[in-house]
Amino acid sequence: MIIPARNEEEKIASCLQSILANGYPKDFYEIIVVDDHSTDSTVEIVSRFPVKIIRLSDHISTKINSYKKKAIECAISNTDAEIVICTDADTICTPHWIQTIVSFMKQNNSVFVSMPVRYNNGNSALALFQELDFMTLQGITGAAVYNQMHSMSNGANLAYLRSAYLEVGGFDGIQEIASGDDMLLMEKMAKHFPGRLHYIKSKKLIVRTDPMLTLKTFLQQRVRWASKSVYYPDVKIKAVLLLVFTFNGLLLSIPFLCIFYNPIIQVSSFSCSLFCGWGIVLILKSLVEWYFLFPVAQFFGRENLGFSFFIAQPFHILYTVIAGFPRRNKAYEWKGRNVN
């Protein structure tokens, strides 16, 4: 089990406690925490637990662009475990997490499995917005993997065979991309092992994490996630992402068109009709999306968020355009680092 960690003194103890509380025999697995140049007391806290600690600073001497991939790579080279389970240092897992993963992979001959992640309930509007957005992504993840599209996964909760990782060359070819230790590796696996990648829809496998505390860190996180989309090898995935971005871009621009262009074209009925059409499309879009999101919300026990979902729709359109704006080699800040 691999946990990359950078400055996680506030959450790493709870994460490790939740893993060690699993009923799976402790002689049958090991936890490897890879310290990514932490400047707080992360290493000191981890040293109190029966886990292996690897310091990334012992393995790299120059600046690189993807520290997380290097952390995972170092951990895999220091274990002979059959199954690699990856999670983040700020997550909490369930008591049957390990057992359920191992049983499923063996029974279904899986080489790679993606599993559910959810945000802890927050009290702020920003936290609620993130929860709704993240549930949407989780629904897309499950549907995509089930239909063998393999376009989505989350590094906070995934597992794969070590032998399969080595067979595809690990992160070779995607090492310089800052993000993508999950989805881009998944794409490589899908090419070599068709039909052997799965999504496990089980409440026993839900790991929890906290939403971002500020709007800035939330947008930085989503920009980081979106930055790897330009590297997807599947043209169909890129086409879908472009369609979603264009559709939301049009929805965002129409109200401004009605407001600012009406004095020029001097046709008030045109603006009125356009605005009414925009409202109808927005309502239909919201209803269709909630229809598909509701079963996901039920799965996570948050089916009561319907009202909040409809209120958040206009803000979600704006966020989709901002976070999804095509970027290549654009710098962003993450955990105190400027990343390209």
User: In the chain, what are the domain boundaries?
Assistant: 2-213
Closest CA to 207 of 12, 19, 6: 19
CA distances (Å), 283 to each of 287, 303, 305, in order?
Answer: 6, 19, 17
**Mean pLDDT estimate for the chain:** 86
Q: Can you tell me whether residue 4 is helix, strand or coil?
A: strand
**d(Cα 40, Cα 25) in Å, to the nearest integer?**
32
Query: Lowest-confidence range among 82-91, 117-126, 249-258?
Result: 249-258
- Would you place residue 143 in the very low, low, confident or very high pLDDT band (cuts 50, 70, 90)? confident
pTM of the model: 0.84
> With 80 as the cut, is the pLDDT of residue 240 above it?
no
207-209 and 83-87 strand pairing: unpaired
Geometric angle at alpha carbon 334, from 324 and 97, rounded to 5°: 85
Cα–Cα distance, 179 to 230 (Å, whole number): 11
Average pLDDT over residues 288-310: 92
Residues 6+ apart with CB under 8 A from 180: 66, 69, 174, 228, 231
Task: Please give the DSSP secondary-structure letter assigned to residue 335.
Answer: T
Phi, psi at 333, each rounded to 5°: -100, 135
pLDDT for 112 equals 96
Please name the residues in contact with 40: beta carbons below 8 A apart, sequence gap of 6 or more.
7, 8, 9
More confident residue, 104 or 228: 104
Token couple for 208: 């929890």
Greater confidence (282 vs 222) lies with 282
What single string gives the DSSP state of each residue in 270-308? HHHHHHHHHHHHHHHHHHHHHHHHHHHHHHTT-GGGHHH
CA distance 40 to 285: 45
Is the pLDDT reported for residue 237 higher than 70?
A: no
Q: Which residue has the tokens 């269709």?
A: 288
Q: Which amino acid is at 154?
A: N
Q: Cα separation of 168 and 160, whole Å? A: 12
Matching CATH number, 2-213, of 3.40.50.10860, 1.10.10.60, 3.90.550.10, 3.40.50.300:
3.90.550.10
Q: What is the pLDDT of residue 338?
A: 65
Alpha-carbon 65 to chain mean position: 19
pLDDT tens digits, one per residue of 169-204: 999 988 877 677 888 899 899 999 999 999 999 999
